[in-house]
Structure 1
Amino acid sequence: MIVQDGLPAHERWRALLVIILGIVMAVLDGTIVNLALPDIARELNATAAQSIWVINAYQVATLALLLPLATLGDIVGYRRVYLVGMAVFAAASVACALADSLAMLALARALQGLGAAGLMSVNTALVRLIYPKHLLGRGIAINSLVVATASVAGPSIAAAILSAGSWPWLFALNVPFALVSLWWGRKALPENISKAAGSRFSLLDVVLNALMFGLVFLGVDGLGVRAEPVPSDAALNSLWVPLAELAVGLAVGVVYVRRQLIQPVPLFPLDLLRIPVFALSMGSSIGAFCAQTLAYVGLPFLLLGGYGFTHLQAGLLLTAWPLAIVVTAPLVGRLIGRYSGGLLGGAGMAMLALGLVSLALLPPHPVQADIIWRMALCGMGFGFFQSPNNHTIITSAPAHRSGGASGMLGTARLTGQTLGAVLLAMIFSAFSPSEGDQGSFVALWLAAAFAAGAGVCSVLRMRQLAQP
């Protein structure tokens, strides 16, 4: 089914539901296993450090293959990449649920990350095909809402599943939803109107892309985990592995980027990064997700250790953030096209920065209402920012490069989240356990700085669009 300007209304929601199912599963599975790591390590006779590979294998595979699969979507069709990705994700989920060793589980998680990359790489490109141009802002707002909510809902959903069953159910429950989405998607998803001409899918470029992202991720993550306030001989000796990974990853990146510069349709979309509005939108996205990760992951330490709330109370307070996103995103979707994306995104990041600063300035013994409105302000700011920014990223690219733009959108989100997690690890390593709440305050101030930087990048887009 090839469409010219969106699907009819009765077909549009069916196709969007397929995309929502896929993106919820792909985003959730990045964080849903965090709560189960102690149980996984115990049952599979692994150490806590080894169990981290259950998370890293998924993240590295997803980040390393997002851009290659996005480019493949430009060439062979987004629908085909999405459906194959869903099939791989379903099969890998079965393998994860049946894994009887940590090595098997890590390999299955890597395969699951490959399937998730297929889903995330082209989901926004498919939204561009599903919605007519005058309603595209609403479609992207719904998609952005799902991504933002799923990004922070993993621990809560995991807690609900683990309260009723063991950790394999975290993966087994994916299977029926994936099969329904696969069956429905064959009929509901549209095909590309146009495909990228003059592009080629080089296996060498895919390998170089995977090595660059994978080694840089592992190196930066290793440095963040190993950082200590006072360097010791043991700590310094343990740094050479992540430093080597980072150095090799950067060296591979230099070779890879030089190869991409001569490609008419590069796998790493340098052609899109030459568009100033696109590049500024990418910078805004990385900064925004870094700010959200710094704050949202660091806040539980403050609420539990600094203010003495119970786990239930802390969980309820934290829900004010995603609930505000849920309320704000659809409203902002109606403003896209009427007002500049740079203005809307800048206003959103200003609200997020203000909310983060207000959280950092909480009194020593705050009441719950003091925390709730600050959390809600942060969520409103992020909801105000994400949809217009995603709309700008996808629409500033030519139609035949929607896949590359969609892949870069996912890459920016994962890069920002990874950077935020690494910075948070470094911050907490600089404070003793008794000073953990101080680390949370530092994280909030740094998050506010990243939000402000993202806002500046967003506002600068207005100047670019105003130029002839």
Structure 2
Amino acid sequence: MTELHRGLPMPRRAVAAFGVCSGGLMLMIDANIANIALPTIARELGIESSKAVMVVTAYQLVLAMALMPLAALGTRIGYRRLYCGGLVLHSLAALLCFSADSLLSLVMARSLQGIGTAAAMSVAFGLVRTIYPPEQLGKGLAINTIANASGSALAPVVGGLVLSVADWPWVFAAAIPFSMLALLLSRAMPDPDPHMEPFDLLGAALCALTFGLLIGGLELTTHGPSLWLAVAVLATGGAVAWWFVKHELSVPQPVLPVDLLARLPMALALLSNFSAVLASMTVLLFLPFMLQHSYGLSPAEVGGVVAGYAAASVMIAPTSGYLSDRIPVVYLCSAGMCVAAIGLVTIALLPADASRFDMVWRLWITGAGFGMFFSPNARLIIASAPTKRSASAGSVVTTSRMVGQATGATIVAGLLALNFGDTMVPVYCALVLVGVSGAICLVRLRDHKSPDAT
């Protein structure tokens, strides 16, 4: 058994794990911190709120387009090399975001930053599986979950604090120190021997084009000059997606792991994951606008309130992941969606004179429900793949999350454009999506006695 299959020896394992966690913490801060700044960016750049959401949509679009192709590239050139290159590009793009003085320049810089993020995120799961020995993989995934959830929890707090003492460009520079720390510790990370299989260039191009057209078409429904143009782009994206899948079925080293997706438990887990991500993103993007416009909170106060959601995820997600080794995953996922639905109902019933505490505890319940769902659901998907395919399986999970987040941003932009920003309609939409995810969990629950489902 090679060193990579046995994991790294101590203390190198601890240093490498800390490096991956630092990078994950930084990436999750960066992925969520812009949400808090959107109202401020819209006001200071003199643009509509619905257009400000493009800062988030462009970032998520690039992530969705690049994750699976870069995961395949990481298998070819080595996980650590691609991971470090992604962190460097991310940091350089953060400096461009800091110097942006218009929506166009900010969106372009944020898109470049998305490529760096995709490079690092696409191989993160692969690195975790090579750092830890097989018998400690669950522990490694739990530690990584804590780091990622902590980044989500810190993002609104850091964003709110930065905006309370500095201008919005500083929000995009907040994650750079964590990136530098991860680069410093990366020397301890394993670097698997590159594989010499030919890289599927056509598959990579079709993958990027598929997600670009589909998510871009959704974006055009709210910001495009014509609805017919959006429909045409979406139809073209559907045709390219068909070509993409057909091509991937014929190659030995596909960018899209079609053989893994053919497994019913994994396919249902991904569908459920997508719907849950879509629901959570809809709520998290809508809340800063509602809390500032309808309740008069400052950016710092919004950050503190929204942190209740992420704090619950930090507390619940690792525990739920630990329990998934002992309790069938479908039970935990079903329970998580029930709790999330309860939390969303309480948010929809938020009174006009609600106190800060009233807001926080409702968000805490919602965050606890989503945290209870995401961790074991991801474990099911990752553990179902062979070790050498861990990067591909991880990229599918992350792509599902990114596509859900990008679609959620488009939904919120559309609702804002339709003047639903001061209503609870976005919360109702999230509640419907949680119901869809919960229904898929019930389908999985029916077959929970199957070894793959547990």
TM-score range, shorter-chain basis? 0.7 to 0.9
Alpha-carbon distance in 2 for matches of 1:284, 1:6? 32
Partner residue, 2:16? 15
1:390-429 matches, within 5 Å, as 390-429=378-417
Structure 1: runs of 5+ lacking an equivalent: 227-236
The residue aligned with 1:459 is: 445
444 and 83 in structure 1: CA distance in 2 versus 1, 3 angstrom threshold: closer
**Residue in 2 that maps onto 1:310:** 297
Aligned residue for 1:150, secondary structure, equals helix
Partner of 1:220: 218
String of CA shifts for 1:37-94, please: whole Å, max 9, x gaps: 6776788898877765544443222211100011122233222221221222233233
TM-score, length-scaled by structure 1 = 0.84
Is the Cα–Cα contact under 8 Å of residues 221 and 227 in structure 2 kept in the other structure? yes
Question: Helix, strand or coil for the counterpart of 2:8?
Answer: coil
In structure 1, what residue type is equivalent to 2:209? L
- Structure 2 vs 1, CA of residues 430 and 446 (structure 1 numbering), >3 Å: closer, same or farther? farther
Give the Cα separation in 2 of the matches to 1:438 and 1:170.
28
CA distance in 2, matches of 1:321, 1:212: 32
Q: Hey, what does 1:320 align to over in structure 2?
A: 308
1:114-193 mapped onto 2 (5 Å cutoff): 114-151=115-152, 153-185=154-186, 187-192=187-192
Instruction: Verify the 8 A CA contact 1:344 1:388 in the aligned structure 2.
Output: yes
> 2: CA distance between counterparts of 1:385 and 1:467?
14
Structure 1 residue aligned with 2:371: 383
- Specify whether residues 34 and 310 from structure 1 end up closer, same or farther in structure 2 by C-alpha distance, changes over 3 A only: closer
Q: Check conservation: 2:278, 2:407, Cα contact below 8 A.
A: yes
Check conservation: 1:298, 1:443, Cα contact below 8 A: no
For residues 52 and 438 of structure 1, the distance between their equivalents in structure 2, rounded to whole angstroms, comes to 18
Residue identity matched to 1:191 = D
The 3-state SS of whatever aligns with 2:448 is helix
Are the aligned partners of 1:92 and 1:109 in contact in 2 as well (CA < 8 Å)? yes
- 1:287 is aligned to 2:285: no
Aligned-pair CA distance for 1:113: 1.3
Q: Is the 8 A contact 1:219 1:242 kept in 2?
A: yes
Other structure's SS at 1:207 match = helix
The aligned counterpart of 1:360 is: 348
Q: CA deviation at 1:203?
A: 2.5
State the alpha-carbon separation in 2 of the partners of residues 460 and 350 from structure 1: 17
8 Å CA contact retained: 2:306, 2:363: yes
Equivalents in 2 of 1:301, 1:167: separation in Å? 16
CA drift at 1:293: 1.6
Structure 1 residue identity aligned to 2:423:
D
- How far apart are 1:262 and its partner, in Å? 0.5
Q: Quote the Cα distance in structure 2 between the aligned partners of 1:158 and 1:94.
A: 17
Kindly state the Cα deviation for residue 9 of structure 1 after the two structures are TM-superposed: 4.6
Unaligned runs of 5+ in 2: none
Does the 8 A contact of 1:328 with 1:383 survive in 2? yes
What secondary structure does 2:284 align onto? helix
Sequence identity, in percent? Answer: 35
- Specify whether residues 440 and 253 from structure 1 end up closer, same or farther in structure 2 by C-alpha distance, changes over 3 A only: closer
Residues 133, 344 of structure 1: alpha-carbon distance in 2 compared, 3 angstrom cutoff: farther
The count of residues paired between Structure 1 and Structure 2 equals 452
Cα offset, 1:394, TM superposition: 0.9
Which segment is superposed worse, 408-417 or 326-335?
Answer: 326-335
- Give the TM-score normalised by structure 2: 0.86
Q: Could you give the per-residue CA deviations for residues 179-213 of structure 1, whole angstroms, max 9, x where no partner exists?
A: 3322320x2111338x768x431323222211111
1:196 and 1:401 in contact (8 A); partners too: no
